[in-house]
C-alpha cells in the first residue's frame, strides 16, 4: 500500500515512560539521527529525582522532548505534536500537554488492569473513547518485540527492555530519520555483549518495518534540512559545551585546567566530561564535599592553573565563604552554577533561574563578582571561554550561570575554528619584577588587576589569605582607610569589565512600545514570542543580557527608548529587582517557578496583555 509523505517545517515529539523504559536514551538517539539529517533542534529532558520510583507510578515517569525543523529552532517546543506513551502513567502525566489533534503512540501491552489502577485511570483510555480528538496508535510493542526476538539469547526481561527501540524505530519511520547511526552506536556501546546490541537493533528495525507495512499508518512526515550557516556542526548539551569551552580557554592561555568539584545534579556531566580529557592537560579532583572542591580549585589557581569548580544552588551556598576567599586574594577562578529548583535539596532534576541574586550579592561584606549567563546549550561554550578569559585578565573569580534546561538540554553547535579564537594573554611576573623594596603583590595594572605570581618564583614571596591586605605591599592590614580603598578597588575592577561587553544587540526595532528583557535560558521562548507578536504588527523588541554583573553600559539608554519593559524569569523577579534600581522605573514582570522553562505562548499572552 502506497503511503503519503507530507512535508512539514517543524515537529515536536515527547517520549514518556517509566524510569526503566529508557526514554532519555531513546530521545537522545532520535536527536542524534535528527542532527545528522541537518535539522535545527532543541531538546529538554524531564526525569524524576527519585533513583527508582515504583514501576508504573506517576512519580516514576521519565520524559524527553525535542523540537526539530527546517528553520531556526529556539525552544524544545511548547506542546508536543506526538506523544510516545510507554505505559498508562506516562499518558496520564503528559496527555494534558499534547496539542489538540495530536498523535499518541501507546504500548497497549502495558495498559493492564494493575498499571491502569496505579496510574489513576478508572477505565482503559485506549478503549473508552476518552482520547477522542487525538490520533491514537495502540501498538502491542511488548508482544511484537517478543515475537521478533523469540530466537534471541536474551531473557524475557531483557527482551521486554528492547521495546523502547521498537518505539524509536516507528518514530524513525514516521519522520523519515535514518536508523544506521543508532545501529552503529548500539554495536559500539555493546561491543562486549553483541547479543544485546543485535537484539536492540532487531527491535528497532521491527518498529521501522511495522511503520512501513502496517495499514494503521497511512502518512509519514518529511522535515527538510535547516538552512544554517555553513560549517561543521555537532549536537551538544550545555554541560559538555561548558567543559569544551573551559578546555579551549586553557589551551589558548597556555595553561593546564584544574577542576575541583563535588558531584551534584544537574552539573555532574561537566566533571564526567573533563575527567575524560586528560590528554588536553586537564586535571580533575572529585572532592569529598563542596567546600573541598572550591578550596582545591583556589589552591590550583594560586599555583598557576586555570581553576574551575562546578556545582548547583545548594553547593553554591556551601562554597560561599571560599568564594569570598577567592575575591579577597584576587585569584582567577571560574565558578559554574547549573541552577536547579530549590531551596535546599528542592527539585534536583528540575530547572530554575533562582540563583541570580545569590550570584550577584550572596556573600558577606561588599564583595563584587562578575556574573555571566548562557542563553542556550551552544552558547555555554562561548560563555565558559569568556568567563575564563575575564577571570585571568582581571584576576577575579567569575560566576557562570547555566541551568538544568541548558546543561542537560541540547542543540546544534557550530564547531569554531581554533585558529580564529582569540589568544588569552597571561603574564606571570618573574624575579626581574622584584623592585628595590621587594615584590609588590597588590600593585595594579590598567584594569586594576594584581600580578599573578606563581609560588616558588625566586624573589616573589608574598602573603596570601583571607585577612585584608594593605594596598600595593600585600601586608596584613586592619587600617580602616585601607579597607575602604581595597573595597573600592575590588568593586572598580568588576565595573571595569564593562569595557569587555560589546554593544547590546536588539532583536526588533531599537525603539517602540515594549522591550522584553531576559537573561539565561529564557532567550529562546522570548525570541519566539517576539517573532509571533511582531508578525501580528505589535511594537515589541527583545534585549537579552549575557553579563548580568556588571550590566552593559548601554542598558539604560536602550530601555529609555521604550514605553514599557517586561522581564520574564523562572524565579520570583530577581533581575527585575536589580533592573528597577538601575533604571529607576516601573517594570512588568512575568514569573514562574514550576521547575519548567517558559512556553513561548505564555510570554506572547503577556505581551498581548500589556499592549492591549
pLDDT tens sequence across 482-498 = 999 999 999 999 999 99
Do both 28 and 95 map to the same domain? yes
Give the DSSP H or E segment for 64.
strand 61-69
Same domain as 602, residue 549: yes
Q: Which residues of 303-335 are buried (b: 16+ CB within 10 A; e: fewer)?
A: ebbbbbbbbbbbbbbbbbebbbbbbbbbbbbbb
Digit-coded pLDDT (tens) for 437-447: 889 999 999 99
* Residues in CB range of 501: below 8 A, 6 or more apart: 546, 547, 550, 552, 553
Cβ(244)–Cβ(416) under 8 Å? no
Last residue of a domain, one of 222, 255, 272: 222
State whether 363 and 486 are in the same domain.
Answer: no
Specify the CATH number for the domain of residue 597.
3.40.50.920
Q: How far is CA 483 from CA 47, 323, 443, in A?
A: 49, 19, 15
Q: How many domains is the chain partitioned into structurally? A: 4
Q: Does a cis peptide bond (omega within 30 degrees of 0) precede residue 418?
A: no
Same domain, 162 and 298: no
Looking at the structure, do residues 399 and 471 belong to the same domain, yes or no? no
Q: What is the CATH number of the domain that holds 161?
A: 3.40.920.10
Structural contact between residues 12 and 6, judged by C-beta atoms closer than 8 angstroms: no
Burial class of residue 344 (count of CB atoms within 10 Å of its CB; 0-12, 13-18, 19+): exposed
In a domain, 520, yes or no: yes
Whether residues 205 and 74 fall in one domain: yes
412 lies in the same domain as 277: yes
Phi, psi of 444 (to 5 degrees): -130, 150
pLDDT digits (tens, 9 = 90+) for 170-229: 999 999 999 999 999 999 999 999 999 999 999 999 999 999 999 899 999 999 999 888
pLDDT band at 435; cut points 50, 70, 90: confident
Q: Is residue 530 part of a domain?
A: yes
Looking at residue 49, what is its pLDDT? 86
Query: For residue 227, is it within any domain?
Result: no
DSSP SS3 for 40: strand
Does residue 2 carry a pLDDT above 80?
no
List beta partners, residue 51.
none
* Domain boundary pick from 162, 195, 222: 222
The proportion of the chain whose per-residue pLDDT surpasses 90, expressed as a percent, equals 94
What number is the average pLDDT over the span 320-335?
98
> Whole-angstrom Cα distance, residue 48 to residue 200?
25
Evaluate whether residue 285 is within a structural domain. yes
Task: Please compute the mean of the pLDDT values over residues 581-603 and round it to a whole number.
Answer: 96
Strands 233-237 and 410-414: antiparallel
371-373 and 397-403: which strand pairing?
A: parallel
- Between the CA atoms of 364, 368, 370 and 373, what dihedral angle is there, to the nearest 10 degrees? 50
In this predicted structure, what is the pLDDT of residue 41? 97
Sheet (strand 40-46) strand order? 40-46, 61-69, 10-18, 82-85, 103-107, 135-139
Cα Rg of the chain (Å, integer): 27
442 and 548 assigned to the same domain: no
Q: How confident is the model at residue 351 (pLDDT cuts 50, 70, 90)?
A: very high
pLDDT at 347: 95
Burial 443-480 (b: 16+ CB within 10 A, else e): bbeebbbbbbbeeebeebebebeeebbbbebbeebeee
Lowest mean pLDDT among 239-243, 353-357, 463-467, 602-606: 463-467
Domain interval for residue 521? 506-611
**Within-domain flag for 426:** no
Give mean pLDDT, residues 592-606: 97
Q: Under 8 Å CB-to-CB from 537, ≥6 apart: which residues? A: none
Model confidence at 612, pLDDT cuts 50, 70, 90, reads: confident
Mean pLDDT of the chain: 96
Average pLDDT of span 310-316: 98
- The answer to whether residues 377 and 413 touch, using CB atoms and an 8 Å cutoff, is yes
The reply to whether 550 and 565 lie within a common domain is yes
Question: Is 405 within the bounds of a domain?
Answer: yes
Of 222, 242, 269, at which residue does a domain stop? 222
pLDDT at 40: 96
What per-residue confidence (pLDDT) applies to 376?
97
Residue 83 near residue 98 (C-beta atoms within 8 A): yes
The runs of H, that is alpha helices, within 134-283 are: 141-148, 156-160, 163-174, 180-189, 194-213, 238-253, 268-275
Report the Cα–Cα distance between both ends of the chain, in Å, rounded.
Answer: 52
For residue 427, being part of any structural domain is answered with no
Residue 449: partners with Cβ closer than 8 Å, 6 or more residues away: 330, 393, 394, 395, 396, 493
Rounded CA separation 432/453 (Å): 12
438 and 352 in a common domain: no
pLDDT class of 64 with cuts at 50, 70, 90: very high
**For the residues 524-538, what does the mean pLDDT come to?**
98
Q: Report residue 533 as a C-alpha cell.
A: 507578536
Among 106, 124, 126, which Cα is nearest to 115's?
124
pLDDT at res. 1: 61
Task: Give me the DSSP letters along 473-534.
Answer: T--B---HHHHHHHHHHHHHHHHHGGGGSPPPPEES-SSEEEEEEEEGGGHHHHHHHHHHHH
Q: What is the dihedral of CA 259, 264, 266, 267, to 10 degrees?
A: 0
Q: Give yes or no: residues 186 and 322 share one domain.
A: no
The verdict on residue 66 lying in a domain is yes
Looking up cell 621587594, which residue turns up?
Answer: 438
Q: Does residue 51 carry a pLDDT above 80?
A: no
Q: What is the rounded CA–CA span in Å between residue 410 and residue 378?
A: 8
61, 89 Cβ separation under 8 angstroms? yes
Residues 197 and 238 sit within 8 Å (Cβ to Cβ): no
Q: Do 10 and 45 fall within a single domain?
A: yes
Instruction: Please tell me whether the peptide bond between 266 and the residue prior to it is cis, using omega within 30 degrees of 0.
Output: yes
Q: Which residues pair with 335 in a beta bridge?
A: 309, 399
| CATH number reported for the structural domain that contains residue 309 in this entry | 3.40.50.970
Q: pLDDT confidence of 54, banded at 50, 70, 90? A: confident
Mean pLDDT, rounded, for 163-169: 98
Amino acid at each position: 500500500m502506497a503511503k503519503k509523505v507530507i512535508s512539514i517545517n517543524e515537529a515536536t515529539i515527547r517520549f514518556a515512560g517509566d524510569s526503566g523504559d529508557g526514554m532519555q536514551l531513546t530521545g537522545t538517539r532520535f536527536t542524534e539521527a535528527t542532527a545528522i539529517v541537518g535539522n535545527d533542534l532543541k531538546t529538554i529532558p524531564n526525569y524524576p529525582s527519585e533513583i527508582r520510583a515504583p514501576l508504573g507510578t506517576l512519580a516514576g515517569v521519565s520524559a524527553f522532548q525535542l523540537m526539530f525543523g527546517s528553520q531556526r529552532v529556539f525552544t524544545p517546543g511548547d506542546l508536543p505534536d506526538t506523544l510516545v506513551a510507554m505505559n498508562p502513567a506516562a499518558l496520564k502525566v503528559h496527555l494534558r500537554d499534547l496539542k489538540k489533534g495530536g498523535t499518541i503512540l501507546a504500548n497497549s501491552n502495558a495498559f493492564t488492569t494493575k498499571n491502569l489502577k496505579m496510574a489513576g485511570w478508572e477505565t482503559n483510555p485506549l478503549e473508552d473513547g476518552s482520547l477522542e480528538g487525538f490520533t491514537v496508535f495502540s501498538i502491542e510493542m511488548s508482544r511484537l518485540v517478543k515475537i521478533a526476538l523469540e530466537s534471541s539469547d536474551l531473557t524475557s526481561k531483557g527482551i521486554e527492555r528492547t521495546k523502547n527501540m521498537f518505539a524509536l524505530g516507528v518514530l524513525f519511520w514516521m519522520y523519515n530519520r535514518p536508523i544506521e547511526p543508532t545501529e552503529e552506536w548500539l554495536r559500539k556501546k555493546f561491543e562486549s555483549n553483541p547479543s544485546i546490541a543485535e537484539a536492540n537493533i532487531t527491535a528497532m528495525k521491527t518498529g521501522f518495518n511495522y511503520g512501513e507495512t502496517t495499514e494503521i499508518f497511512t502518512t509519514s512526515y518529511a522535515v527538510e534540512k535547516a538552512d544554517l550557516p555553513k560549517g561543521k556542526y555537532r549536537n551538544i548539551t550545555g554541560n559538555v559545551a561548558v567543559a569544551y569551552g573551559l578546555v579551549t580557554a586553557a589551551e589558548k592561555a597556555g595553561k593546564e585546567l584544574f577542576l575541583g568539584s563535588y558531584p551534584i545534579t544537574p552539573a555532574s556531566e561537566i566533571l564526567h566530561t573533563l575527567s575524560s580529557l586528560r590528554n588536553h592537560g586537564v586535571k580533575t579532583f572529585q572532592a569529598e564535599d563542596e567546600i573541598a572542591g572550591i578550596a582545591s580549585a583556589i589552591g590550583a589557581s594560586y599555583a598557576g592553573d586555570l581553576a574551575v569548580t562546578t556545582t548547583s544552588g545548594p553547593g553554591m551556598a556551601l562554597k560561599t565563604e571560599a568564594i569570598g576567599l577567592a575575591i579577597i586574594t584576587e585569584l582567577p577562578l571560574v565558578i559554574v552554577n547549573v541552577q536547579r529548583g530549590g531551596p535546599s535539596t528542592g527539585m534536583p532534576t528540575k530547572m530554575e533561574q533562582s540563583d541570580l541574586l545569590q550570584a550577584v550579592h550572596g556573600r558577606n561584606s561588599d564583595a563584587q563578582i562578575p556574573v555571566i549567563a548562557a542563553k542556550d546549550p551552544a552558547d555555554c561554550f562561548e560563555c565558559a571561554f569568556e568567563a575564563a578569559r575575564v577571570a585571568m585578565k582581571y584576576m577575579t573569580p567569575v560566576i557562570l550561570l547555566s541551568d538544568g534546561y541548558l546543561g542537560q538540554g541540547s542543540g546544534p553547535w557550530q564547531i569554531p575554528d581554533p585558529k580564529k579564537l582569540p589568544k588569552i594573554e597571561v603574564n606571570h611576573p618573574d624575579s626581574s619584577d622584584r623592585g628595590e623594596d621587594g615584590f609588590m603583590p597588590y600593585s595594579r595594572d590598567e584594569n586594576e588587576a594584581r600580578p599573578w605570581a606563581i609560588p616558588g618564583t625566586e624573589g616573589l614571596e608574598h602573603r596570601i589569605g583571607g585577612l585584608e591586605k594593605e594596598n600595593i605591599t600585600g601586608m596584613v592590614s586592619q587600617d580602616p582607610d585601607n579597607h575602604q580603598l581595597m573595597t573600592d578597588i575590588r568593586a572598580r575592577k568588576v565595573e571595569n569589565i564593562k569595557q569587555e561587553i560589546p554593544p547590546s544587540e536588539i532583536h526588533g526595532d531599537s525603539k517602540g512600545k515594549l522591550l522584553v528583557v531576559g537573561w539565561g535560558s529564557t532567550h529562546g521562548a522570548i525570541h519566539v514570542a517576539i517573532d509571533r507578536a511582531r508578525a501580528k504588527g505589535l511594537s515589541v523588541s527583545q534585549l537579552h543580557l549575557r553579563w548580568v554583573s556588571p550590566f552593559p553600559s548601554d542598558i539604560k539608554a536602550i530601555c529609555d527608548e521604550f514605553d514599557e519593559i517586561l522581564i520574564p524569569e523562572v524565579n520570583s523577579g530577581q533581575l527585575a529587582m536589580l533592573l528597577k534600581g538601575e533604571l529607576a522605573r516601573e517594570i512588568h514582570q512575568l514569573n514562574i517557578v514550576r521547575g519548567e522553562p517558559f512556553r513561548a505562548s505564555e510570554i506572547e499572552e503577556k505581551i498581548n496583555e500589556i499592549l492591549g
